[in-house]
Amino acid sequence: MKIHEFQGKKLFADHGIRVPRGLVATTPEDAAGAFDELGGHFAVVKAQIHAGGRGKGTIKDNPQQRGVQLVKHREQASEVAEHLLGKELVTIQTGPIGKTVNQVLVEEGCDISRELYLGIVLDRAAGKPVLMVSTEGGVEIEKVAAETPDLIHKTHFDPAIGLEAFQVRKLSKQLGLGAAGFKDAAQFMKALCRLFVDQDCSLLEINPLVVTGGSELLALDAKITFDDNALFRHPDIAKLRDLSEEEPAEVRAADAGLSYVKLDGNIGCLVNGAGLAMSTMDIIKYHGGEPANFLDVGGGANVEQVTEAFRILVEDSNVKAVLVNIFGGIMQCTTIANALLEAYQTVEFNVPLVVRLEGTEVKEGRKIIAQSGVDIITADDLTDAAKKVVAAAG
């Protein structure tokens, strides 16, 4: 689960991690008021959406307006907020449609001496969290990783112990922080590692991490992703979820216990199991089609879930044909065939449906569909199913 920058900064502040003072505004008037309250000579107005690249991103109908802008007086704060609020911001991470800006963060300006990078992720290969820092802050870190990997310094830490002092000393040297900055860096980095572990984060990123004129570290950005599997033990974090940032059909699918990801193609698919669902997308592409989605109904496939899944698929206007691929293991194909028929008759199907069943009692299952008289195309195997659905989609 992702959260907004302002929510991340609140969490940082609660954990003793230094952030600039800032206020959230949902109207231009509030933004002007926030400028006054911060009381500085300048401030920064930042669009709040769940995507990176906001500084370089632009408003869809007003390419002059970027997602982050420095303002020098209250009128300008109000004007920039007006240009951002309710508009679509397009960044390298949002895709061409962009994301609607529902709130802006008005933040005090700060005295920047250097811009660094800091990130924490779970290193799957090492099976431990890893803290990464770089002197190359304020730019795309993926680019730094690809072009100058030597400039990214990594250190793994044990979640039970946290970051050790010697690890901070080493990283401080690599960042060129010097002896004066070491104490501050130790407090800052240890607190971040603690936050990562205590709140079950899967990603925590500060880009840029600023060294101020006073040689202190300051989190100018806050990007935090929490692991969905651990949200059950963080009810306060779960409340930070912003459903308006998520694809509505994906939210609806999750509520029904389905795993659904919308894609750009025109062949809807419904499959049991994640690996088989990905493979089904792959085989559609292999035979010249484009999948419209990933959809995993889970190991079984009951009538309610299949019905909801069918609804989601046929409501996507891009979908020109649907492929159902079920490997009936524990659940018999006869049960699945009956569930498919019931769901098919409940949902108004206006596109061709191809069904491939395999597994326990497959002959009887196919017979149930064939004898039902409904307009379902049956397939003998994976290849046959893919070819038929690609042909049906035109």
Partner 1 sequence: MSILVNKETRVICQGITGRAGEFHAQGCLSYGTQVVGGVTPGKGGQEALGLPVFDTVYEAVEQTGADATMIFVPAAFTADAILEAVDAGIQTIVAITEGVPPLDMVRVNKVVQESQSVLIGPNCPGLITPDECKMGIMPGYIHQKGPVGVMSRSGTLTYEAVWQLSNLGLGQSTCVGLGGDPIVGTSFIDLFQLYESDPATEAILMMGEIGGTAEEEAAAFVKDNVTKPVAAFIAGQTAPPGKRMGHAGAIISGGKGTAAEKTSALREAGIVVAESPADMGTVMQRAIKEASS
Minimal distance, residue 393 CB to partner 1, in Å: 15
Q: Residue 204 Cβ, how far from partner 1 at the closest point, in Å?
A: 13
> Which of 63, 96, 381, 394 touches partner 1 by CB under 8 A?
381
Given the residues 79, 107, 117, 136, the one annotated as active site: 117
Q: Is 349 helix (H, G, I), strand (E, B) or coil?
A: coil
The residue among 8 and 291 lying less far from partner 1, judged by its C-beta, is: 291
Give the residues across from 295 on adjacent strands.
260
Question: Between 179 and 330, whose beta carbon lies closer to partner 1?
Answer: 330
Q: How far is the CB of 390 from partner 1 (least distance, A)?
A: 13
Return the residue of 34, 211, 277, 354 that touches partner 1, per CB under 8 A: 277
Residues facing residue 115 across a β-bridge: 210
User: How many chain residues touch partner 1 (CB under 8 A)?
Assistant: 55
Nearer to partner 1, 233 or 363 (CB): 233
- Which residues in 346-382 are b (16+ Cβ under 10 Å) and which e? ebebebbbbbbbbbbbbeebbebbeeeeeebbbbeeb
CB of 166 to partner 1, least distance (A): 20
Indicate which single residue of 22, 28, 67, 129 sits in contact with partner 1 (rule: CB under 8 A).
Answer: 129
Q: How many residues does the chain have?
A: 394
Give yes or no for a contact between 119 and 206, defined as CB atoms under 8 angstroms apart: yes
Out of 72, 286, 315, 363, the only residue in the binding site for partner 1 (CB under 8 A) is: 286
Please give the Cα distance from 208 to 224 (Å, whole number).
14
Nearer to partner 1 by Cβ, of 14 and 381: the residue is 381
CB of 82 to partner 1, least distance (A): 31
DSSP string, 60-98: TTEEEEESEEEESSHHHHHHHHHHHTTSEEE-TTT-TT-
Q: Binding to partner 1 (CB under 8 A): which residues in 143-202?
A: 145-146, 159-160, 197, 200, 202
Which residues, in sequence order, are bridge partners of residue 312? Answer: none
122 contributes a contact to partner 1 by CB under 8 A: yes
Counts of helices then strands in the chain (DSSP H, E):
13, 20
- Is residue 75 among the annotated active site residues? no
Residue 361 lies near partner 1 (rule: CB under 8 A) = no
Please choose, from the candidates 123, 122, 119, 86, the residue with its C-alpha nearest in 3D space to the C-alpha of residue 104: 86
Which residue's CB is nearer to partner 1, number 230 or number 391? 230
Termini Cα distance of the chain: 37
Q: Catalytic annotation on 364?
A: no
| Cβ–Cβ < 8 Å for 105, 5 | yes
Q: Which residues bind partner 1 (CB under 8 A)?
A: 93, 122, 124-125, 127-129, 142, 145-146, 159-160, 197, 200, 202, 227-230, 232-233, 259, 261, 263, 271-286, 291, 294, 296, 299, 327-330, 358-360, 381-383, 386
